[in-house]
Structure 1
Amino acid sequence: MLSILIPVYNYDVSKLVLELKHQADNLGIKHEILCQDDASKSTINTKNQEVNSFPYVSFFINEFNLGRGKNINSLAQKAKYDWLLILDCDTFPAQNNFIQNYVNALSKNINIIFGGIIYEEKKPPKEQLLRWIYGQKRETASLLSSNLLIRKDIFIEYPFDESITKYGYEDVIFFSSLKKNHFEILQIQNPTFHLNLETSEQFLSKTNTALENLVLLYNSNKISKTDSKIIKAFEVLKSLKLITFTRFVFNKNKERIERNLLSENPSLFYFDLYKLGYFCVLYSAR
């Protein structure tokens, strides 16, 4: 019935596997849990491999780094059941009837179901505030593949774009493809907690990498203004011939914006300006 796919990178997945295994066993459903570390070479994998001792649980390690999307595609090819439940390794079910809620949702005859993501209410240390605030204000309202149930045959036909090997925008392209092919996506209240908060510096660095991806996707016509607010704003600036001016203003104020984003009171408005400005810089340097 259910293949649970967990892409892993340098993270202890044992508690997540135990919780999912417990819930699935209690329901008595046919299931398997497939985890795959993406060549992180982490010592944590010594502990992770212990989950192989549980029935219907497998932990694999890639010889070479594939990138998140291709890693999930690889797991899907290994899966033997009709339904795939994709969960990021740093998530954890918010409810002890998490699997049951998804099983119940199958009665709605929808082929793609998103459970949602939430963040702990407790404020994290100041060096993690940007990631926490962004997650609470933006990601909780976004469509993500970090907690997604989908029919295997649909996923195999419309997998993640394997040209995206670095962090960023693989979900946008994935869901855009599904929507363009007229698949309905149902969101239910069945969230997972996002547990692993990067520092603000790490998150800003990953954002830069994501924007590099976004430029490549935009230049190859794989993403449009309907998929990205950054692209939408950029095309307005482009039509007004303000790209050069925006790049100049961004470069002049980059350090001040970064100080805010790394501070105890990061502004998402400044974060949006940062992303738009840096996108203009990258686009002009292509």
Structure 2
Amino acid sequence: MTAQTETLFDNAAWPQAAPRLSVLIPFKGDDPLPLLAALALEPCAAEIVILDDGSDDPALAAEVEATTRLLPLPARFVRLARNEGRSKGRNRLVSHARGDAFLFLDSDMLPDDPRFLRRWLELVETSDPPVAFGGFSLKQVEPRPEQALHRAMAAHSDCLDAATRALHPEKHVFTSNLLVRRDVFDAEAFDEGFAGWGWEDVEWGMRVARRWPILHIENPATHLGLDNARTMAAKYEQSAANFARVVAAHPAVVAAYPSYRVAKALKRAPLRRLWRPILKQYALAEAAPLASRALAMRLYRAALYAEAV
């Protein structure tokens, strides 16, 4: 037991380990056990630090602790009594890491390559980049009707190859599969002023890109945690305040983003608060054509962001 805010459990391999890479996994609500099982198949010079960010799920916490005990890799399980949020939780994970490089992985990810960790370690050993993003895919997700909208939108804008991501390197920086060198993170941690969902990792990428190059490579992991349309809309609603924070901090960078330009255009549209809910309702209508639903959801997000530009 450390401070009352967190409880620690270390497996037998943890105390004597000298890892090169620290794999940092926060979770709240999502089940991290499939990811831990996949990582257990790759014994290498890495450690795992997993954070329960106030899930308030004793049964899941007990399963994570039991799995941690059995992992062949050195592992520490950090359990928080209350939720700290995406930025603060990841900063806390770093405080427990011992490697010279950190690999941030979301708990709903699953490596696409059986040499996933070893490929990251090879990159660290050969070129030791300040920051690198491996990309993500939908290869291992079973299609479900209620997730069709998220799947279509993610395939269009998120599941991009390294060459495409490299055109705007700071924009495609997500903590779903992100390598960061220790000295870089010591200089630029996540901004704990962000609350709720969205933009804290992209904003971090904007700050880091001013000082270091961001490398994009092909070492993807599958995003298992696709949402239904209603959950997507709720997350976009949460993210509007975070988008405003990014606009205030990085106006020149954000001005080049399509989401900003559309939001700026919609800001001039009259009666926005009357027609915005109609966009949402259409995006939620599962009987409507998928392409038009995706357009409606993107416009709904831009109409929310119009309040911030």
CA distance in 2 between counterparts of 1:254 and 1:194 reads 28
Match of 1:130 in 2: 149
**Residues 1:258 and 2:288 are matched in the alignment:** no
Partner of 2:198: 168
* Whole-Å separation in 1 of the counterparts to 2:32 and 2:105: 11
2:100 is equivalent to residue 82 of structure 1: yes
Instruction: Tell me which of 123, 136, 157 is aligned to 1:117.
Output: 136
3-state SS of paired residue (1:210): helix
Which residue does the alignment assign to 1:39? 54
Relative to structure 1, is the Cα distance of residues 7 and 262 closer, same or farther in structure 2, using a 3 angstrom cutoff?
farther
Distance 1:122 1:166, change over 3 A: closer
Paired residue secondary structure (2:215): strand
Q: Which residue of 2 aligns with 1:146?
A: 176
In 2, Cα distance between equivalents of 1:90 and 1:121:
12
Letter in structure 1 aligned against 2:60: I
Contact 1:38 1:62 in 2 (8 A): yes
The counterpart of 1:196, out of the listed 217, 222, 225, is 225
Q: Aligned to 1:97, which of 99, 102, 115?
A: 115
Q: Is the 8 A contact 1:201 1:262 kept in 2?
A: no
Q: Distance in 2 between matches of 1:70 and 1:94?
A: 28
Q: Which has the higher helix share?
A: 1
Q: Distance in 1 between matches of 2:180 and 2:285?
A: 37
Q: Is the 8 A contact 2:263 2:303 kept in 1?
A: no
After superposition, what is the alpha-carbon deviation per residue over 1:212-247, rounded to whole angstroms, capped at 9, x for unaligned?
3213443xx223252343333444x3xxxx73x525
Structure 1 residue 149, shift from structure 2 partner: 1.2
1:38-76 Cα deviation digits (max 9, x unpaired): 101123222112133135111111122111121111000
Question: CA–CA distance in 2 between the matches of 1:103 and 1:262?
Answer: 45
Alpha-carbon contact 1:246-1:277 (below 8 Å) kept: no
Counterpart of 2:236 in structure 1 is 207
TM-score, length-normalised on structure 2? Answer: 0.80
Name structure 2 gaps, 5 residues minimum: 1-19, 161-171
Residues 161-184 of structure 1: CA deviation (Å, up to 9, x unaligned): 110121011111010011122x11
Q: 2:68 aligns with which of 52, 67, 72?
A: 52
TM-score (norm 1): 0.86
Shift of 1:7: 0.8
Name which of structure 1's ranges 208-217 and 160-169 shifts more when overlaid on structure 2.
208-217
**CA shift in 2, pair 1:97/1:229, >3 Å:** same
Could you tell me the percent identity over the aligned residues? 24
1:4 partnered with 2:23: yes
Contact 1:250–1:274 (CA<8 Å) still a contact in 2? Answer: no
Deviation by residue 1:66-125 (Cα, 9 ceiling, x = unmatched): 111211110001111101111000001001011121122231342212111001376622
Within the candidate set 236, 251, 256, 1:224 is matched to 251
- Confirm or deny: 8 A CA contact 1:167 1:209 kept in the other structure: yes
Query: Per the alignment, in what secondary structure is the counterpart of residue 40 of structure 2?
Result: helix
Alignment-derived partner of residue 184 in structure 1:
213
* Counterpart-to-counterpart distance in 2, 1:122 and 1:7: 21
Alignment partner of 1:246 out of 269, 281, 289:
269
CA distance in 2, matches of 1:253, 1:14: 39
Cα root mean square deviation, aligned: 2.2
Q: Distance in 2 between matches of 1:38 and 1:168?
A: 16
Q: Does the 8 A contact of 2:56 with 2:81 survive in 1?
A: no
2:298 to 259, 272, 275: 272
User: What CA distance in whole angstroms lies between the structure 2 residues aligned with 1:204 and 1:61?
Assistant: 29
Shift of 1:15: 2.6
Residue aligned with 2:193, SS: coil
> 1:36: Cα distance to partner?
0.2
Instruction: Provide the C-alpha distance between the structure 2 equivalents of 1:64 and 1:257, rounded to a whole number of angstroms.
Output: 32
Distance 2:106 2:295 in 1: 28
Aligned residues: 270
Measure, in 1, the Cα distance between the counterparts of 2:23 and 2:153.
Answer: 27
